[in-house]
A and B are shown apart, each in its own frame.
Chain A
Amino acid sequence: NVQPPEKPLQAEEWNRLRQSFQSPAIFEEVMFNSMVRCNSPIDVAKSLLTHVAKSNGDIAYNLLVKYLALCVQQGQTKEIRDVHDIMKIRFKVLESGAYNLLIRGLSNSDQWRMALTLLEEVKKIMIPSRTNYESCIKAASRHQEMNLAFELYHEMLAKDLVPTLDVLQAFFDFSRGMKGAELQKELFGILLYLRENQIYPHKTFMRSIKLWFESIPGGNWRGHLTNIKDSGQCPVCNHQLEDSDLTEEEYSNLRERIIRDVIHGTDTFRKTSPQEFEAFQTFVENRFPYDIVIDGLNVSHIKPRKMQCENLFDAVNCLAKQNARLLVLGRKHMLINSSNWRREIMKEMQNKADFFFAENISEDDAFLLYATLRSGKHCKFVTRDFLRDHKACLSDSLTRHLFRKWQRGHQIVFSPSVEGKHINFLPAFRYDCVVQTTGDTWHIPYKDTFEEKYSYRVPRKWLCIQQK
């Protein structure tokens, strides 16, 4: 690796450096890379360019791009424009790397409108990246051209580009204190976008939202940070949050899709067999509705030191209170008397709950989903599995969101803290953890940290906004 010089060099000096370098053919490239890394003064880069131009009569495109990167890094607007002009003269089209740099560089300068022109140019040859849009949107909103910014935002959504949280936050930051019903509607639209896609803002984004609400002239909005009670009531405004139930239509939609995509998929034989699935269907038809469906094998592994059937026995006893109707799904091997599966205990359990034993090579998760969905909205299921692979089988994002919502409201998981004596369960969420509004209140769940949490983990902290 080479250290770039601190001052511009003469041609001879560059030549000497080049010859001492192990592979002179790529000397300029390596040198430019390290200039970008060290953020060298552009005069140094210029002197190298001049040397290259004089000795070759031309400068290769990749060197120009690297020089451009250096200029963008240092916000040298004039140079960026010059490089742009030169590139335009020398090449019919530019590629995405140069466009990215040009748009990024110019959008941060007073020549930001030129970035918009460039964006139009990119559109002619390819779909601009989301960062292209991000630069332009930020530039427009920084200059208070909110209409333009929103126009670009809708355009990128129409192209199926996913906006970064950064862009969304910028909208709130730059709209602070601005008036206008249209603007307000657009920003509410962003909140609804978060709702539809089950995105949770992080703490700083949440703060931008709060500040924007409170800055609306004559809006009288007040925001508070809070935790929602298990009952789903907001302690600040006493508002009851939406419950996590799906509508009739959503529910039957989800059920159809689970059967079609998850259980049958491309080939019913991959997860079960048609005979077995039919047998299971009749089994459920004859006995449903159940209140709780249990993934027997999954539950039997809660405590590794205990016998597997004991774990299951504890779980069944714990859930069997209040005459709940239970269905336990297992595999045939559980019926063979073994050190982990004692016949007496299995017998005993079968008095308290219905059991269905699938073939050893079948996937019981698919049955779990089916039985729960068939039993109706009130029915919950128990497993530690996050069911991510099943969610992935669903073909469109809308159904996947439905599935997540349903899962949040219907999955009973073990309480992790109580690993001691007894098996304990966390009840399924009674309220839906998603951005929601009633018109004069907004409730927005947010993540504590910036980095992405596991997608299955749901935030516990909320921003409550109400209009006085």
Chain B
Amino acid sequence: SCSPSEKLDLDAWKKVMKSGVQEEVSETVSEHKELSSLAAAREILEMWRLAGRSVPENISEEQLKTFMECPSKSAKKKYLKYLHLKELYKRNDKRKMDEKRERRLETQEQASKTDETRRNSFVCLWANCMDRAYSWRVAQSMIFGQPLVFDMSYEKDMSAREVANTVRQLVLSEGCNRRSVDPFHIHFCNLKDDSLYHKEFIKHYREAWGKLLITVTDQCYTDVFPKDKLIYLTADSPKVMKTFDHNKIYIVGSMVDRSIKTGVSLARAKRLGLETAALPLEKYLLWNTGAKNLTLDQMMHILLTLKDTGDWKKALEFVPKRKYYGFVTKP
């Protein structure tokens, strides 16, 4: 037989690509000039997506504007990747939800077929009951509990995304405080109405924001509590915390610091003349990598555990495992 390449028309693909698109072309010529900058950006994004870059499939007008306002090429790239990943997560979640629903329907169908009547002495109202029990405990703590202050005065040190992250961490912190046996009385101090923090909180809690069992104030903690009882927790502090003091009021700075801004919260404590302390991470953990600053919900877990048990080892279990090799074994 003859060799295959002889029979092959290697440029056949060009003919295919050039044919059958003529009508489209005539349209695009007139359109081309009238593209607004937004539409043009959308087109480029579409091309990037076709080229296989990390770009979201759908992008809202608002996101497109944010994208165009990014100051540099790398900032643009990062923002697109962030949107892309967000889209992926969302799609995956949705798919999982759908699968779950399908499975549930299936089992229900089977259950109805076998027609088994169940007997139970409790009405199934767990979530509701638990909520009430939790609320009762938090309400108690608001009268008798130890205060814990979150300092909401770092908005100007953060980007919008960092503020959003901060609020997310605060929501998680509040959640785990509510579920604990002996909750703190949470104070959000220096929280101004219409601040970015405030807006983000509303976004997360919606109408529940007004019913949260916490104290929110635009006052500074120094106006609310006696100064000598306050201790500002900051990783930059030269002093290391030895024990958890039940008579003190600990302050945690509500700040997510993605860039390196050392000493911001220490500067704040210095300005107000407050005592500071850092967690004894070095003393108990063989540190591996990562910054010594922890997320707000990790801080919350650690402080709650300390309050309940006073056991540093147990408390520091909440430091992410990737950050340390293990615990220091003492002779």
Instruction: Answer yes or no: do A and B interact.
Output: yes
Identify which of A4-12, A244-252, A320-328, A420-428 touches chain B: A4-12
How far, in Å, is B81 (CB) from chain A's closest CB? 15
Give the dominant DSSP class at B's interface: helix
- Is A303 in the interface zone, CB < 8 Å from B? no
Task: Give every chain B residue within 8 A of A269 (Cβ-Cβ).
Answer: 266-268, 270-271
**Central interface residue in B51, B262, B264, by most chain A CB within 10 Å:** B51
**Contact indicator A8/B4 (Cβ below 8 Å):** yes
Cβ-based interface call for A125 (8 A): yes
By a CB distance below 8 angstroms, the chain B residues around A10 are 4, 7-8
Is there a chain B Cβ closer than 8 Å to A347's Cβ? no
Are B47 and A61 interface neighbours, CB within 8 A?
A: yes
Within 8 A of A (CB), among B11-62: 11-14, 16-18, 21, 25, 28, 31-32, 40, 43-44, 47-48, 50-53
Residue on B nearest A60 in the bound complex, by CB: B50
Q: Are A271 and B8 in contact (CB under 8 A)?
A: no
Is A273 close to B, CB under 8 A? yes
A94: chain B residues within 8 A (beta carbon): 47
Q: Evaluate whether A46 and B47 lie within 8 angstroms (CB atoms) in the complex, with A269-B268, A270-B266 already known.
A: no
**A385 in the interface, Cβ–Cβ < 8 Å?**
no
Number of interface residues of A (CB under 8 A): 46
Contacting pair B8 A62 (CB below 8 A): no
* B13 and A46 form a contact (CB under 8 A): yes
A90 touches B44 (CB 8 A): no
Tell me the bound Cα distance from A361 to B52 in angstroms: 50
A62 contacts B52, C-beta separation under 8 Å: yes
Distance from B100 Cβ to chain A, minimum over Cβ atoms (Å): 26
A residues near B18, Cβ cutoff 8 Å: 85-86, 89
- The distance in angstroms between the C-alpha atoms of A8 and B51, with both chains bound, is 25
Nearest CB to that of B76 among chain A residues? Answer: A126
- Cα(A268)–Cα(B271), bound, Å: 9
B-chain residues with CB within 8 Å of residue A93 when the two chains form the complex: 40, 43-44, 47
Q: Give the complex CA separation of A60 and B16 in angstroms.
A: 13
Q: How far is the CB of A133 from chain B (nearest CB, A)?
A: 14
Interchain nearest-CB distance for B272 vs A (Å): 9
Taking a contact as CB atoms under 8 Å apart, the answer to whether B5 and A270 are in contact is: no
Interface size class of B (residues with CB under 8 A): 35 or more
Question: Is the Cβ of A59 less than 8 Å from the Cβ of B13?
Answer: yes
Whether a CB of chain B sits under 8 angstroms from the CB of A92 is: yes
- Residues of chain B within 8 A of A29, CB atoms compared: 52
Once the chains bind, are B51 and A95 in contact (CB under 8 Å)? yes
Min Cβ gap A332→B in Å is: 12
A361: which B residues are within 8 A, CB to CB? 238, 266, 270
B320 within 8 A of A: no
Q: How far is the CB of A309 from chain B (nearest CB, A)?
A: 21
Contacts of A53 in B (CB 8 A): 12-13, 16-17
Q: A57-B16, A89-B17, A361-B238 are in contact. Are A43 and B51 (CB under 8 A)?
A: no
Cβ of A97 under 8 Å from chain B: yes
**B residues in contact with A60, CB < 8 Å:** 50
Known A269-B270, A270-B263, A361-B238; contact A92-B28, beta-carbon cutoff 8 A: yes
A227 at the interface (CB under 8 A from B): no
- Name the distance in Å between A65's Cβ and chain B's nearest Cβ: 6
B9 within 8 A of A: yes
Interface residues of A in 60-88 (CB under 8 A from B): 60-62, 65, 82, 85-86
Query: Given known contacts A46-B13, A53-B13, A94-B47, is B238 in contact with A89 (CB within 8 Å)?
Result: no
25 contacts between A and B (CB under 8 A): A7-B5, A10-B8, A47-B5, A50-B9, A50-B13, A52-B13, A53-B12, A57-B16, A58-B16, A58-B17, A61-B47, A62-B50, A85-B18, A86-B17, A89-B18, A93-B44, A93-B47, A95-B47, A96-B48, A97-B53, A125-B40, A269-B270, A273-B270, A360-B238, A361-B238
Which 6 residue pairs of A and B lie closest in terms of their CB atoms, listed nearest first?
Answer: A269-B267, A95-B47, A53-B13, A61-B50, A53-B16, A46-B10
Given A267-B271, A273-B270, 20 other A-B contacts at CB below 8 A?
A8-B8, A8-B10, A9-B4, A10-B7, A50-B10, A53-B16, A53-B17, A54-B12, A54-B16, A57-B16, A60-B50, A62-B50, A65-B51, A85-B18, A89-B17, A89-B21, A89-B25, A97-B51, A267-B267, A271-B263
A residues contacting B by CB (< 8 A) are 7-10, 13, 29, 43, 46-47, 49-50, 52-54, 57-62, 65, 82, 85-86, 89-98, 125-127, 266-271, 273, 360-361
